[in-house]
C-alpha cells in the first residue's frame, strides 16, 4: 500500500445515468478513501461530445449525493482540459516513445482485412515506426494527416492488481496504439493517464472491463515519466442468468431505486456485498460501518450476481431499523402530498406499526392504505377460510356490541373485549381475530390487530365491521 494518504477517483462518462455497476465502483472507491483517511475525487469523462450530456452529469452527481457518496474537491471535467492534453501530446511527439503515423485509413483497412482473412487477427505493423526525418518533414509540409502512436516496447509487462493479483502481459500482443487522433484529439487511454497523474491519484479502482487498458496506460505512464498508481479491478456484476447485468434483469438506474422508495443506505449496503466478502456473518451495515470494515483485498475476483430477493431483504432490514419519523420524512421527500390531510403524528404511528412489513418507502405507502380508507376488496381466500359460514356473524356482532359499550377506546380495552367474547362463547380468540382483521383491513395478515384497532378508532372499526357483516359469509359460487 502506498504510504501517503490515498487519493482515488470515480470517473463516469456522462453518456447515461448512474447504474448499479457505476454506483458500486463509486462506492468501493469512496469506502477505500474513507477507510484509509484518503480522498475521493470525481472526474467527468465528457470528451465524447456526441454522446455526453450535461443532464447525465447532473443526474450522476445527484445520484451520488443521494447515496451519501460525497466527493472531495471540485470535480474535474475532461472537456475543459484540451490544452493540457495537447501539451502532453507535443511532449510525447518529442520523445522517442511515440511517432507520427501517416498511414491512410484505406491502407489500414486493406491491411486489416487481409490479415483477418489470413490469420484472423490484426495488429498495426509499425510501418511508420522508423520514418526518416526527411520523409516526416515532407509529409508535414504537405499537410498529410497523421495520428500519434505509442512505440510499444517489446517486453513482458507486469503489474500487481489488488484484487486479481499479479498480471503479466506480453506486449508483443499489443500494437502501437493510437494516443492522438488525426484531428489532434487524445484517446481515452492517454487522457486517463494525464488526468490520474494531474489529480495525484494513488489507486485506480475501476471495473474489470478496463483490465485490458491498464497495460497500455502503464506504458503511457512510463513514456511520460509519471509515477504509476496502484490498480484494483472490480469483478463483473452478472444477472441471475450469468449474463452481464442489465435492465433486462430488473436492475434499474440509481434514480429509479430512489423513486421506488428504496433507502440509500439499503442500496449502499446491498452494493457493498456485490463482490466484497466481509468475512463475517453480519450482512447489515451502515455506511459508517462499511467504511470501517471495507478492505480492498477482501473483494473477490469471481463475478458478483445481482439478486433482487437479497436486495429486498436488506432493504426491509433497513426500513425496520429506521425510526418511523425518518421513514415519514423519507416518504414525504418522494411524495410530498402523501396523506396530507392526516395528522403527522398519526401517520408516524401507522408507520411504526407496519414498518416491519415493508421493503421500501413506496411499499409503506401501499400497505398503509387501509389505515386511511375502508377496504375496497377483501382477500378471497381469507374470506372463505375465516368467515366460512353463518356461525361467525353472531360472534362478530356480539363483539361489535361490546365495543360499543367500552368507556374508553384503547388497545388493551379492545383486546380484553375480544377475549371476553371468546371466553363466553367457548371459542378460541383466533376464531374472532381472523374475521375481524379481514373486516378491518381486507387482508389475511398484518400488524397486531389490537394496535391497529387502537389507531383506527371506534367509529372506523364499527363502520367496517358493519360492512363486513353485510357481506359475509360469501355465497357459494
Interaction site with ligand GLU (CB under 6 A)? 11-13, 45, 192, 206, 210
CB of 45 within 8 A of CB of 12?
yes
Q: How far is CA 185 from CA 134, 189, 213, in A?
A: 25, 12, 18
Question: What is the number of residues in the chain?
Answer: 477
Closest chain position to ligand GLU (CB): 206
Nearest distance, CB of residue 185 and ligand GLU, angstroms:
16
Beta bridge partners of 469: none
Nearest distance, CB of residue 217 and ligand GLU, angstroms:
8
Of the pair 12, 186, the CB lying nearest ligand GLU is at 12
Of the pair 82, 375, the CB lying nearest ligand GLU is at 82
Of the pair 13, 439, the CB lying nearest ligand GLU is at 13
Other Cβ atoms less than 10 A from the Cβ of 459: the count is 9
Q: Is 118 exposed, middle or buried (CB count within 10 Å of its CB: 0-12, 13-18, 19+)?
A: exposed
CA distance 472 to 465: 10
Nearest distance, CB of residue 45 and ligand GLU, angstroms:
4
Nearest distance, CB of residue 310 and ligand GLU, angstroms:
26
CB of 161 within 8 A of CB of 232?
yes
Of the pair 210, 318, the CB lying nearest ligand GLU is at 210
**Phi then psi dihedrals of residue 73, to 5 deg:** 65, 175
Of the pair 62, 283, the CB lying nearest ligand GLU is at 62
The phi-psi region of residue 104 (left if phi > 0; otherwise alpha if psi is between -120 and 50; otherwise beta) is beta
Give the distance from CA 336 to its chain's centroid: 24
DSSP-derived secondary structure for 232-246: EEEPPEE-TTSSBP-
Nearest distance, CB of residue 157 and ligand GLU, angstroms:
18
CB of 94 within 8 A of CB of 67?
no
Q: Which three cell numbers stand for residue 130?
A: 522508423
Q: Where are the alpha helices (DSSP H) in 98-212?
A: 105-118, 133-141, 188-198
Nearest distance, CB of residue 293 and ligand GLU, angstroms:
24
Of the pair 72, 344, the CB lying nearest ligand GLU is at 72
**Has 111 been annotated as catalytic?**
no
CB of 368 within 8 A of CB of 455?
no
Of the pair 51, 247, the CB lying nearest ligand GLU is at 51
CB of 304 within 8 A of CB of 237?
yes
Catalytic residue among 4, 80, 114, 247: 247
Nearest distance, CB of residue 162 and ligand GLU, angstroms:
15
H or E element that contains 300: none
CB of 5 within 8 A of CB of 36?
yes
Question: Looking up cell 507535443, which residue turns up?
Answer: 90
CA distance 324 to 349: 7
Question: Looking up cell 467527468, which residue turns up?
Answer: 44
DSSP-derived secondary structure for 303-365: PEE--HHHHHHHHHHHHHHS-HHHHHHHHHHH-TTTTTTS-HHHHHHHHHHHGGG-SSHHHHH
Of the pair 68, 207, the CB lying nearest ligand GLU is at 207
Q: How far is CA 80 from CA 28, 83, 85, 308, 355, in A?
A: 27, 8, 10, 40, 48
CA distance 421 to 429: 8
Beta bridge partners of 77: 44
Nearest distance, CB of residue 66 and ligand GLU, angstroms:
19
CA distance 257 to 253: 7
Of the pair 36, 210, the CB lying nearest ligand GLU is at 210
Nearest distance, CB of residue 261 and ligand GLU, angstroms:
28
Catalytic residue numbers? 247
Amino acid at each position: 500500500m502506498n504510504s501517503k494518504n490515498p487519493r482515488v477517483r470515480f470517473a463516469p462518462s456522462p453518456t447515461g445515468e448512474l447504474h448499479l455497476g457505476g454506483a458500486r465502483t463509486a462506492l468501493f472507491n469512496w469506502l477505500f478513501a474513507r477507510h484509509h483517511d484518503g480522498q475521493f475525487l470525481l472526474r467527468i469523462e465528457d470528451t465524447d461530445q456526441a454522446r455526453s450530456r450535461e443532464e447525465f452529469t447532473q443526474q450522476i452527481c445527484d445520484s451520488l449525493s443521494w447515496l451519501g457518496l460525497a466527493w472531495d474537491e471540485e470535480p474535474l471535467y475532461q472537456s475543459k482540459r484540451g490544452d493540457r492534453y495537447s501539451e502532453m501530446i507535443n511532449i510525447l511527439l518529442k520523445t522517442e516513445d511515440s511517432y507520427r503515423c501517416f498511414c491512410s485509413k484505406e491502407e489500414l483497412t486493406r491491411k486489416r482485412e487481409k490479415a483477418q482473412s489470413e490469420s484472423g487477427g490484426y495488429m498495426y505493423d509499425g510501418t511508420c515506426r522508423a520514418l526518416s526525418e526527411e520523409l516526416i518533414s515532407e509529409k508535414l509540409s504537405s499537410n498529410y494527416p497523421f495520428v500519434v502512436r505509442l512505440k510499444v516496447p517489446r517486453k513482458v509487462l507486469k503489474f500487481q492488481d489488488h484484487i486479481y493479483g499479479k498480471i503479466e502481459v506480453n506486449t508483443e500482443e499489443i500494437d502501437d496504439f493510437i494516443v492522438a487522433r488525426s484531428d489532434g484529439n487524445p484517446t481515452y487511454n492517454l487522457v486517463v493517464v494525464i488526468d490520474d497523474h494531474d489529480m495525484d491519484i494513488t489507486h485506480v479502482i475501476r471495473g474489470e472491463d478496463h483490465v485490458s487498458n491498464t497495460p497500455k496506460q502503464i506504458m503511457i505512464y512510463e513514456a511520460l515519466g509519471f509515477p504509476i498508481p496502484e490498480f484494483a479491478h472490480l469483478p463483473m456484476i452478472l444477472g441471475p442468468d450469468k449474463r452481464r447485468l442489465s435492465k433486462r434483469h430488473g436492475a434499474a438506474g440509481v434514480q429509479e431505486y430512489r423513486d421506488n422508495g428504496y433507502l440509500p443506505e439499503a442500496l449502499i449496503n446491498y452494493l457493498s456485498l456485490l463482490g466484497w466478502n466481509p468475512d463475517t456473518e453480519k450482512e447489515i451495515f451502515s455506511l459508517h460501518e462499511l467504511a470501517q470494515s471495507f478492505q480492498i483485498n477482501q473483494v473477490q475476483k469471481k463475478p458478483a450476481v445481482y439478486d433482487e430477493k437479497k436486495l429486498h431483504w436488506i432493504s426491509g432490514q433497513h426500513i425496520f431499523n429506521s425510526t418511523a419519523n425518518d421513514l415519514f420524512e423519507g416518504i414525504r421527500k418522494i411524495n410530498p402530498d402523501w396523506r396530507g390531510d392526516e395528522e403527522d403524528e398519526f401517520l408516524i404511528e401507522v408507520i411504526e406499526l407496519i414498518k416491519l412489513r415493508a421493503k421500501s418507502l413506496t411499499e409503506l405507502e401501499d400497505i398503509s392504505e387501509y389505515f386511511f380508507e375502508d377496504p375496497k376488496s377483501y382477500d378471497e381466500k381469507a374470506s372463505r377460510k375465516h368467515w366460512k359460514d353463518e356461525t361467525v356473524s353472531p360472534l362478530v356482532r356480539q363483539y361489535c356490541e361490546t365495543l360499543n359499550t367500552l368507556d374508553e377506546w384503547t388497545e388493551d380495552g379492545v383486546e380484553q373485549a375480544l377475549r371476553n367474547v371468546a371466553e363466553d362463547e367457548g371459542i378460541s380468540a383466533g376464531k374472532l381475530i381472523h374475521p375481524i382483521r379481514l373486516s378491518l383491513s381486507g387482508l389475511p395478515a398484518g400488524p397486531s390487530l389490537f394496535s391497529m384497532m387502537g389507531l383506527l378508532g371506534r367509529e372506523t372499526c364499527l363502520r367496517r365491521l358493519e360492512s363486513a357483516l353485510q357481506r359475509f359469509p360469501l355465497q357459494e359460487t
